[in-house]
Each structure stands twice: as structure tokens, then as C-alpha cells.
Amino acid sequence: NAGVTQTPKFRILKIGQSMTLQCTQDMNHNYMYWYRQDPGMGLKLIYYSVGAGITDKGEVPNGYNVSRSTTEDFPLRLELAAPSQTSVYFCASSDGQGNQPQHFGDGTRLSIL
């Protein structure tokens, strides 16, 4: 039971570089989410998807892009990395709409220097 798998676990980027955070789930969940968590703060929604080919912005989407070509995968793309994007990123999935529990991956700790 892999659940939600995120790669990489850690990454250091230089300002202006770009990268893709990978997320895959094996629970056949339609709903997937990307959050960021800054120290001492709750989780902020970046983007979400309600199914393959459908994505929408969350609370803090600026500087990020997503795609959802399959049910299993929901990668998050950072273009032109900035120090403000230093954070821990969590991917989650759920079986249904927001009234269903979300299951989280282990997270990616990203530092922009």
C-alpha cells in the first residue's frame, strides 16, 4: 500500500531555476491537491484537480503550474524559483469531494537559495 508518493524528499534550488515536484497515488482517487506549509503555519492550498485533465487554482497559485494527464499523477511545476517558495510541499488525494478525508504524501522539503 504505497498511498501517495512524493519525490524528491529534499531539494535545494538556486534562485531562477525551475523544477517539478512529482506526486503519484495508487488509490484511484479522482481528487488531488498540492499544499505548502511554512514554519508554524497551516497548510495553504496551491492547486487542486478533480480528475484527469481538470485543474484549478487554490489560495496561493502564483509561481506554480500543474497538469493532470492521468488519474495517478499530479506534478507541480515551479518556474523561476524564488526564496519565498522555500517551504514544505505536500501532495494529497481524496476519494470524492471535500467532505472526504484527504490522504497525504510524505512531503518535499524545498529550499531556494
Partner 1 sequence: QKEVEQNSGPLSVPEGAIASLNCTYSDRGSQSFFWYRQYSGKSPELIMFIYSNGDKEDGRFTAQLNKASQYVSLLIRDSQPSDSATYLCAVNQAGTALIFGKGTTLSVSS
Q: Could you tell me if 79 and 67 are in contact, meaning their C-beta atoms sit under 8 angstroms apart?
A: no
Q: Could you tell me if 45 and 31 are in contact, meaning their C-beta atoms sit under 8 angstroms apart?
A: no
Regarding 48 and contact with partner 1 (CB under 8 A), the answer is yes
> 77 or 103: whose CB is closer to partner 1?
103
Query: Which span sits near partner 1 by CB under 8 A: 19-27, 54-62, 66-74, 77-85?
Result: 54-62
What is the residue whose three cell numbers read 505548502? 36
CA 6 to chain centre: 9
Q: How many residues bind partner 1 (CB under 8 A)?
A: 25
Buried b (16+ CB within 10 A) or exposed e, 30-44: bbbbbbbeeeeeebe
Closest approach, Cβ 70 to partner 1, in A, equals: 19
> 59 or 79: whose CB is closer to partner 1?
59
Q: Where do contacts with partner 1 occur on this chain (CB under 8 A)?
A: 31, 33, 40-45, 48, 50, 56, 58-59, 90, 97-107
